[in-house]
């Protein structure tokens, strides 16, 4: 049966269709490799980052937009680069806070049929085709993570990052969940996981849940000054690299 327009995604899905031709699978693998190289080349010299996750749907009058903008400002004052998913809403606000206060502001955008287009407050960004590559880029260059209120995408990024911290795939990385009221039910669910034994009670300490920008930044700063020596890499002209 022919697919209707509403059934066809913005890009043909390749994940759940089973085996394809060898030529198709090779093209897909090469494209994935190229997407990684594209991201690495674009973002390799952006400096140490703090990534801010959050909804694309919040407008400027929303208090969480204001808080994200303040986070961008504070990150800039710390001398770090503000990294986001590069789109509107919370992402725009955090980039804007950094950009307007002399900080470096970058994004890793994703090709989507709606909601997602690069905001105007970035010094540099890259657009990626696949979510799993984008998630690698949002983690690879960052020393801390701030999760603002958001939807499915934010939850995906939140649990992906938290799982990597829990399993010590990345070690001693501070993670802030901002918005106590918004995330109250989620935290109750996570506490039930601990009570049921599906996670350790110690895992609850992997998160700081707060409504205070000051508390969040103090927490991040304590981790960073205690655990990391930050080295900046220099581009090589003969590889056509640039900051």
Domains of the chain with CATH codes: 46-181+207-229 (3.40.50.450)
In this prediction, residue 14 carries a pLDDT of: 58
Residue 62 confidence (pLDDT)? 98
Phi, psi of 175 (to 5 degrees): -130, 125
Residue 228's pLDDT is 73
For residue 56, give the nearest of 110, 133, 122, 125 by alpha carbon. Answer: 110
pLDDT at 59: 96
Write down the pLDDT at residue 236. Answer: 74
pLDDT tens sequence for the chain (243 residues): 344 444 434 454 656 677 888 898 899 899 999 999 999 999 999 989 999 999 999 999 999 999 999 999 999 999 999 999 999 999 999 999 999 999 999 999 988 766 568 899 999 999 998 999 999 999 999 999 999 999 999 999 999 999 999 999 988 899 999 999 999 999 999 999 999 999 999 999 999 999 999 999 999 999 888 777 767 777 776 777 777
The DSSP-derived string for 74-133 is HHHHHTPEEEE-SSSTHHHHHHHHHHTTT--EEEEEE--SSS----S--SEEEEES-HHH
Q: What's the pLDDT score for residue 182?
A: 98
pLDDT at 8: 39
DSSP string, 163-184: HHHHTTSS-S--EEEE-TTTTH
- Name the pTM for this structure: 0.90
- The Cα–Cα gap between 135 and 128 comes to 10
Q: What is the pLDDT of residue 11?
A: 53
* Distance, CA of 37 to CA of 47 (rounded, Å): 18
What pLDDT is stored for residue 4 in this prediction?
42
d(CA 126, CA 139): 14
Over 25-41, what HEC string results?
A: HHHHHHHHHHHHHHHHH
């Amino acid at each position: 049966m022919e697919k209707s327009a509403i059934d066809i995604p913005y890009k043909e899905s390749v994940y759940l269709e089973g085996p394809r031709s060898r030529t198709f699978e090779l093209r897909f693998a090469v494209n994935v490799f190229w997407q990684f190289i594209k991201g690495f080349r674009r973002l390799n010299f952006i400096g140490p980052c703090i990534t801010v996750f959050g909804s694309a749907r919040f407008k400027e009058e929303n208090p969480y937009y204001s808080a994200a903008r303040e986070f961008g400002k504070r990150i800039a004052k710390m001398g770090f680069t503000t990294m986001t998913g590069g789109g509107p809403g919370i992402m725009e606000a955090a980039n804007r806070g950094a950009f307007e206060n002399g900080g470096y502001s970058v994004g890793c955008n994703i090709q989507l049929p709606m909601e997602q287009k690069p905001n105007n407050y970035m010094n540099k960004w890259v657009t990626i085709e696949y979510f799993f590559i984008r998630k690698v880029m949002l983690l690879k260059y960052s020393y801390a993570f701030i999760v603002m209120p958001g939807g499915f995408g934010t939850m995906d990024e939140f649990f992906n990052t938290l799982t990597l911290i829990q399993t010590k795939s990345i070690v001693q990385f501070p993670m802030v969940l901002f918005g106590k009221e918004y995330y109250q039910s989620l935290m109750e669910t996570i506490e039930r996981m601990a009570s049921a034994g599906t996670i350790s009670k110690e895992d609850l300490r992997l998160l700081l849940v707060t409504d205070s920008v000051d508390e969040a930044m103090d927490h991040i700063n304590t981790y960073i000054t205690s655990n990391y020596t930050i080295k900046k890499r220099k581009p090589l002209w003969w590889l056509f690299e640039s900051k």
